[in-house]
Structure 1
Amino acid sequence: MKNFETLIKEHFGQLSNREVAFIRPYFQEEKLQKNEFFTQTDKTCDKLSFVKSGILRVYTLSDGKEITQWISTQNFLLTEVMGFFFNQPNRWAIQALTETELLSITKTNYLKLCQKFPKWNEIEKQLIMKCFMMMEDRIFSHLSMTAEERYELYFQQNKKLFNQVPLQYIASLLGMTAETLSRIRKRQNENS
C-alpha cells in the first residue's frame, strides 16, 4: 500500500504535510477476515476506508441473483454511499474476498473532521465528484461498448484480479453472464 500521505493527496488533492498529519489520527486500522462483511444491505454503513491490502466485493441481490457492482483492491477508497453520506439503508453489501486491511474513518470522526478542519468540506466534494465520474465511466462503457470491449478494457486494467476473484463476479461487474465471459476469454486465448 502507498503511504497515507500519498493516498490522501492522490484522492483529495494537494494538502500540506501538516494538514495530512492533522487528518491521519481520524483513520484507524481495521482488519477483515475472508468472507467477513464491511457492511450489509439494509444496514447503514458508518465508515469510509482506504484498502491497504486485500480484495472486497460490492454487490446486491436482485430477483435471487447476485449483482456485482464493484471489486475494490489496494489503494482504493471504499464505502457504501447511500449509507455513509445520506444515512439511508445500504443498497449494497460489501464483503471481503480475501483477508483485508483497511484504514477507516467512522461517520462520527468524519463529521468531527468536517467541523475541525473546514477544508475537509472541499475534500468531501472532490470525493463525491470522483465517485460520480467513476459511475459515469461505467455507465458510458455499458452503453457504448460491446461485451468484448468491456472485457478487454477491464482485463487490461485489472489482469491480476482474473486469478484472484471468481470469474462470475467479474462477469456480473461487466454486465454479462458467466457463459458470455467464458466465450470471450476463449476467443481471446485462441487469438493470442
Structure 2
Amino acid sequence: MKKGDYFLNTNKECDRLSFVQSGFLRIFFETEDKEVTQWISTKGYFVTDLSGFIFNQPARWTIQALTDVEIYTIRKSEYEKIKTIIPRWPELERLFIVRCFTTLEDRIFSHLSMTAEERYHFFFENNKELFNQVPLQYIASMLGMRPETFSRIRKKQLS
C-alpha cells in the first residue's frame, strides 16, 4: 500500500485481516469536530477491524497507511478455509486473540493508572521510531492527550 491509501473505511465491510511487514497504519474514527486515533499498527502487528471481521459487522474504524506499507493479507473466505487445512489453527488463532486482548488491557491500564507524562514516557521508550515517522497529533490522540498537552510534555522531556 502507498502512503495515504485506505485499508478500510468506517461503515464498510471488513473482509480482510493483514499482517504488517513494514510501515505504519493508523486506526481511527472521526466525529464532527475531531479524529481519534485508536492505534498505530507497526511491523509485527495485525491490522483489521476485529469486530467487523469476526462478526460480519460494518467497520467502526477507518484504517489508513501513514507510510508506504508492506502487508500480507488474508480474506475472510480464505480465513475460514484455513481452519480445515491447518490442524493447529485454533491454537494460533487463540494466540492472536490473546495478543489483542493483552494489548488492549495494557492500554486501559496505562490510561487508568498513569499520568499523561508517564504515558508519554512509557510510550516513547517503547516506540521511539514512531516519533520521527508519524505525525505527533496522532500519537497524542492515541495516548488520550490534547496536542497542546503532548507538546508541553515533549518539550519538557527534550530539555
TM-score (norm 1): 0.80
Amino acid at match of 2:145: M
Amino acid at match of 2:16: K
Which of 52, 55, 59 aligns to 1:83? It is 52
Write out aligned runs for 1:17-28 (5 A): none
Report the CA distance between 1:64 and its aligned residue.
Answer: 2.7
Q: Describe the superposition over 1:79-118 as per-residue Cα deviations: whole angstroms up to 9, x where unpaired.
A: 1101111111111111001111111111111000012223
Which whole-Å CA distance do the structure 1 matches of 2:105 and 2:24 have between them? 23
Amino acid at match of 2:97: I
- Number of residue pairs the alignment of both structures matches: 159
Partner of 2:118: 149
Gaps of 5+ in 1: 1-31
Partner of 2:128: 159
Partner of 1:125: 94
Aligned-pair Cα RMSD in Å = 1.1
Report the CA distance between 1:127 and its aligned residue.
Answer: 1.2
Amino acid at match of 2:149: T
Q: Which of structure 1's runs of 4+ aligned residues deviate more than 4 A?
A: none
Gaps of 5+ in 2: none
- Name the SS for the 2:27 alignment partner: strand
Which deviates more from structure 2 when the two are superposed, residues 166-175 or residues 99-108? 99-108
Q: Does 1:37 align with 2:32?
A: no
Q: Does 1:106 align with 2:83?
A: no
Report the CA distance between 1:67 and its aligned residue.
Answer: 0.3
Which whole-Å CA distance do the structure 2 matches of 1:82 and 1:93 have between them? 13
Partner of 1:69: 38
Q: Describe the superposition over 1:10-46 as per-residue Cα deviations: whole angstroms up to 9, x where unpaired.
A: xxxxxxxxxxxxxxxxxxxxxx111111111111211
TM-score (norm 2): 0.96
Amino acid at match of 1:91: R
Partner of 1:170: 139
Which whole-Å CA distance do the structure 1 matches of 2:103 and 2:65 have between them? 21
Amino acid at match of 1:165: V
Amino acid at match of 1:153: F
Which of 18, 21, 37 aligns to 1:49? It is 18
Report the CA distance between 1:130 and its aligned residue.
Answer: 1.3
